[in-house]
Chain A
Amino acid sequence: MFGQILSLKEYLADKDYSKLTSQNIDEASLNLTERLVVEKHLASPVFLNMIVAALLL
């Protein structure tokens, strides 16, 4: 379900970034961005009226 709260510490440990350093921070940032974008994409169906609303706003 969308909206599940993500514990950053657990997420990093789960992705083998338990010790975040300057070496892996860029990769970890991209992975976390991808993770959040995918989740938000799945939770955001595009409706026709959303497109119209987007034009208005």
Chain B
Amino acid sequence: MLSEEDSKEFFMNLRTIDLHKEGRNYQHGIAKYYLGEDIPAINSGLNQIVQMNQIKYDHDIRFAMKTYPELVSRDMRDLYAKILDPAKYDLFLSEVFFSSPQDKNKIKGLANFPTNAPGTVIMLDIDHAKLQLKRMNATIDKRALQLTMAYFNVKFRQLSSGIYVQQSGVEAIKKLISANERVVLLPVYKSFADLPILLYTLFMNKIEIPFTIGNLEDTPRVPLFDSLLKRLGYVLTKRSRDQSLQWSYTNQAVLRELINKYRLVMMFQNDVRIRSGKFTQPTSPDITIQWLLQAYLSSLQKDGKNVHIVPITVQYERLFELRNIAAEMVSSANKTTGLLDI
């Protein structure tokens, strides 16, 4: 026990603390020094009756730079040598198509297949494959990704009332990655907004940003977007069913090498956007599932390796541009939505 004299000098009696006053002090400190709000001191006698958005001008840039600083840049060109390896092409043919004589008939049905005399070896056209890869090439550019995340941090705040993520799924993905397992994130392609939402979710949860097996045919051909998408790791894969054997090989080889090297890949399951979210009974397998199983058959199965598939769906339960629509309903003003308003 302290003497009365000591207790005056060394304050130890918690009963004398005014919790209400200290609570206000604490709140003020958090607002001023943690959130950076410009607010008057508690004892200034000023009472705030109107509050505006006090997010600092550099809030979103700081968010992008500080949320996931460990993010690393990646380049798909590192995989080219393995994709263009003729031995792997032969393996693909022998495992996926030619494991029995009657399977050779399958190949005859494929469009653009060069005429080969019986017994000739079907060669990989290296020059053509290089052109294919040039078209598909993508990188994960740290700076481009951070700027994109800063932009979407603003836009998601303005356009939506919130993004909610099933946290158990996020934790399961993190657990698999930390166990060095191969993981394929398999979202349904519903909207152009899917990719930024998914990348933003991974970024916020500090999950490494994977390459995304996208869709060449159902992606707007805008040079600026193309350039940006390629820097976000979006691989424009040809998904039409009439593709040649070599196209098919290149697509699945890209997937195979991405899984083998980076272990985490995102791949839109369906070919074209199903914007209403309505599913129909499939009568033929999704081409991405075919590529995945082909990659598994020609590479992973032999080595006893496994792949974990994570089904993902993005639900648009709340309306984008809700505020604009509400404004139009009230004022009849029809605000034009430009590129920068997206």
Known interface pairs A6-B308, A26-B285; A57-B191 also in contact (CB < 8 Å): yes
The contact of A28 among B100, B190, B284, B293, by CB within 8 Å, is B293
CB of B272 closer than 8 Å to a CB of A: no
Partner of B310, one of A5, A28, A52: A5
- Among B78-86, B238-246, B316-324, the stretch that binds chain A is B316-324
Interchain CB contact under 8 A, B297 and A20: yes
Q: Mark A37-55, 1 if CB is under 8 A from B, else 0.
A: 1011101111101111111
When chains A and B are docked, how far (Å) is the Cα of A12 from the Cα of B284?
Answer: 18
User: Is A16 positioned at the interface, with any CB of B under 8 Å from its CB?
Assistant: no
CB of B96, distance to nearest CB on chain A (Å): 5
Q: Which of B100, B276, B319 contacts A23 (CB 8 A)?
A: B100
A37→B319 contact, CB < 8 A = no
Q: Please, which residues of chain B bring their CB within 8 A of the CB of A2?
A: 166, 311, 313
Interchain CA distance A52-B312 in the complex, whole Å:
22
**Chain B, Cβ-Cβ closest to A42:** B279
- Provide the residues of chain B in CB contact with A20, threshold 8 Å: 293, 296-297, 301
Chain B residues packing against A (C-beta within 8 Å): 95-100, 103, 166, 168-169, 172-173, 176, 183, 186, 188, 190-193, 269, 275-279, 281-282, 284-286, 289-290, 292-294, 296-297, 301, 306-313, 315-321
A interface, over-half SS = helix
Across-interface contacts of A6 in B (CB, < 8 A): 308-311
The residue in chain A whose Cβ has the minimal distance to the Cβ of B182 is A8
Chain A residues closer than 8 Å to B99, beta-carbon distance: 21-23
Contact across chains for A22 and B313 when beta carbons are under 8 A apart: no
Q: Which of A7, A26, A37, A52 contacts B282 (CB 8 A)?
A: A37
A53 vs B100: C-alpha distance when bound (angstroms):
50
A11, A25, A28, A37: the one within 8 Å of B279 (CB): A37
Give 12 CB contacts A-B under 8 Å. Answer: A6-B311, A9-B306, A19-B301, A22-B96, A22-B97, A22-B100, A25-B297, A29-B285, A40-B188, A49-B318, A54-B191, A57-B191
Extra inter-chain contacts (17) besides given A29-B285, A54-B275, CB under 8 Å: A1-B168, A3-B312, A5-B169, A6-B308, A7-B307, A22-B297, A25-B290, A30-B285, A33-B285, A40-B279, A40-B313, A44-B188, A50-B277, A53-B191, A53-B319, A57-B191, A57-B192
